[in-house]
Structure 1
Amino acid sequence: MSKNNRKITSARLLSEYEDLFRCPICSNPVEVVNLRSLICSNGHCYDISRQGYVNLLSHPPKTKYDEKLFESRRMLNQSGFFDPLIAQICENMLDELNPAGKFIKILDAGCGEGSHLSNIQQRIIQQSQYKLLGIGVDISKEGIHMASRSPSTTLWCVADLAKCPFTDKPFNVILNILSPSNYSEFHRMLEDDGMVIKVIPGSKYLQELRRMFYNQTDRTMYTNENTLELFKRNFALVDIKPVQYGVTMENKYIEQLVHMTPLSWGASEELIQQVLGQDRLEITFDFSVLLGKKMKAHT
C-alpha cells in the first residue's frame, strides 16, 4: 500500500471512530477535516501523517527508545519468540469478555512498534466472531511510525499516557504489555465491565542476560512485587496467569535481544560484546499476565 493510500485509509477509519477521541489539550470533541487533520472545537489541530498515524503530542518527548530498539523488537516478534505470551492474552480475552454486539474496542497503551497488538488482533479474528477495533498509542514517534508501516486497519497514535486523547469509557480492553502505566487514565477510559490486561516480567525473565551483564550485583535478581501491589491498589485483581518458557537463541537473535532490552543500558560495552559473541544462548521468557477489573468504588 502506498503512503498516500495508507493515509486515506487511516483517515477514513479515524473519521468513522472520531467520537472515541478528544483533544489532549482541552478535552473538547474532535473531528477529521478533509481526511487530513484531526481538529477540535477550539481549533487545536493534529495532522494525519503520510504513513496514516496521528501525532497528538504538543512537544517531542525525551526517550531512550530509538528506532534500532523497535526494529529489534519487531524482528523477535516476527520470529515467534513472544507467541506463547500472545496466545495467553488472547485466551484471557476470549474467556473473560462478553461485549454487547460482539464488538471489541482494544487500546494498547504503550504499544511500541505495534507487533503485539497486530498479532493479538489477528489471533482474535481467527478464533472468534468478534469485530475488532484496535488502537495503539505510544509516546515514541519512532515506534508508531514503524507500527504504521504494516498494512492494517488499526489506528496508531503518538500520545502521552498522562493525557490520553480518548473520551471516557470507550474501551472493552486496555492492554499494557511490558510498559509503564497510568492507572487514573486507564480507569477513565475503560468501560465499567471492561478489563485491563497488564503484562509484567516474572522473576526469571531474561535471567541469563541479567547474570552475564550484572554478575555479583543486586541487579541479577528481579522482583515484580511492587508493580503487582500497585496494580492491586488500582484494580480488582481477577487472576494472574504465569507464562514461562525457554528458547534457544542463535547469534542473530541474541543481537536483536540485546538491542531490544533496557537491561543492556547499564552494562559495560565489554560485557555486551561478550554476549554478542555467543553462538547461541538458552534464554528464559517469564511473564505474569495480570487481569484486572474496575473496583466498585471507581465505577
Structure 2
Amino acid sequence: MQKHHTLFSCPICKEDMDVQDDGHIICNQNHSFDIAKQGYVNFMIKPAPSMYSKELFESRQTVINSGLYDPIQSAIADQIENETYTILDTGCGEGSHLDRICTHLEKNPLAIGIDISKEGIQAAAKFYENKIWCVGDLANSPFKKESFDIILNILSPANYEEFRRILKPNSKVIKVVPQSNYLKEIREQAFANSEKESYSNDQTVERFKEHFKNVQQQRITYQMPLSEELLPKLLEMTPLGWHLDHEISLKEITIDLDILIGENH
C-alpha cells in the first residue's frame, strides 16, 4: 500500500492519503484508517450490516476453489491485456475469483479487492496475502479518479457512476451476470411452478450498455458434476439455497453466465 498510496483518497474528505510505516493511513485532514493485523484496511465511515456470514464465505471459497467457475475465470483473464497494471474487483467477497483470475495472467498486476462485508475481506486477507484488500462502500470509495485499468464485477451489485470515475480513459469493466439457466437445477427444485423458476438478465444487460461503449457479450454455458460434499456449500453461498424448506439432491449443476465487457468513455 505504501508503494501504491497514490491510488487512494480519503473516503471522508477525498484528500490524498499517506501510508505510514506503523500501518496508519492518514489524509491531509488527519482522517486516519489502520491496516488491521490480519492484513486489510477498513475504509467504512460507518458500519454496514451484512447478511453474509463467515461460514458463507468459507463455503464460497470451497466452491470456487473446486474449479466450478474455472471456464469463467479463464475467459475473464483472456480479456485482460498483458499491459494491464491495476485491477479492482468490486464485491470481491473472500477474494477467490480475483486470485484465480490472476493466476491465468502472464504478468502480475496490482490486484485490489473491495467489499462492504468485513467477514469477506477478513477471509480474503487470510488466504491471499499478495493483494490489497479493503472493506469499503462503492458509494463512498477510497480510490482516486482514473486509477484502474480493469474493474471486475462478478455476480455482484454495481455502481456504474463510481466505476466510470475511478477507471482510466478507454479502460474496461468486466461484469458477470447470470443467464437464464444459471444453477437451474436448484431453481427447478426450490421454485417449481413459480415465477422464480425462470430468470432473464435483459434489464441488467441494457443498463450496462447505457453506461459503457463497445459492449461485448459472451455467454458461457456448461454442466459440472457436483459432489455430495459440495452441494450444501453451494446452497449456502447462493441466495437460491437460502429459502429451501426441503432437502434437494443434485448430481450436476449448470453454469450459465454472461460476461459483459465494456469500455469507459
TM-score interval (norm. to shorter): over 0.9
Aligned match for 2:219, one of 242, 245, 258? 242
User: Secondary structure of the equivalent of 2:127?
Assistant: coil
Aligned identity (percent) is: 40
Tell me by how many angstroms 1:15 deviates: 0.5
Write the distance in 1 (CA, Å) between the matches of 2:128 and 2:141: 25
Residue 253 of structure 1 is matched in structure 2 by: 230
Structure 1: runs of 5 or more not aligned: 1-13
Aligned match for 1:123, one of 82, 104, 107? 104
- Counterpart AA for 1:162: A
Residue 114 of structure 1 is matched in structure 2 by: 95
Retained in 1: the 8 A contact 2:225–2:252? yes
Write the distance in 1 (CA, Å) between the matches of 2:176 and 2:84: 23
Tell me by how many angstroms 1:103 deviates: 4.7
Write the distance in 1 (CA, Å) between the matches of 2:84 and 2:197: 44
Give 1 or 2: higher helix fraction. Answer: 1
Write the distance in 2 (CA, Å) between the matches of 1:15 and 1:22: 13
Q: Is residue 23 of structure 1 aligned with residue 21 of structure 2? A: no
Tell me how large the CA RMSD over aligned residues is. 1.2
Q: Count residues with an aligned counterpart.
A: 265
Tell me by how many angstroms 1:145 deviates: 0.1
Write the distance in 2 (CA, Å) between the matches of 1:154 and 1:136: 8
User: Secondary structure of the equivalent of 2:9?
Assistant: coil
Write the distance in 1 (CA, Å) between the matches of 2:92 and 2:252: 27
Residue 44 of structure 1 is matched in structure 2 by: 31
What's the CA shift string for 1:258-294, capped at 9, x where partnerless? Answer: 00101123x243x2xx11xx3x422100110000012
User: Secondary structure of the equivalent of 2:215?
Assistant: strand
Q: Give TM-score scaled by structure 2 length.
A: 0.97
Structure 2: runs of 5 or more not aligned: none
Write the distance in 2 (CA, Å) between the matches of 1:145 and 1:246: 32
Residue 285 of structure 1 is matched in structure 2 by: 255
Q: Give TM-score scaled by structure 1 length.
A: 0.86
Within 5 A, what are the aligned runs for 1:1-299? 14-93=1-80, 97=81, 102-124=83-105, 128=106, 130-265=107-242, 267-269=243-245, 271=246, 274-275=247-248, 278=249, 280-295=250-265
Retained in 2: the 8 A contact 1:39–1:46? yes
Q: Which contiguous aligned blocks of 4+ residues in structure 1 show a shift greater than 2 angstroms?
A: none
Tell me by how many angstroms 1:241 deviates: 1.0
Write the distance in 2 (CA, Å) between the matches of 1:120 and 1:247: 19
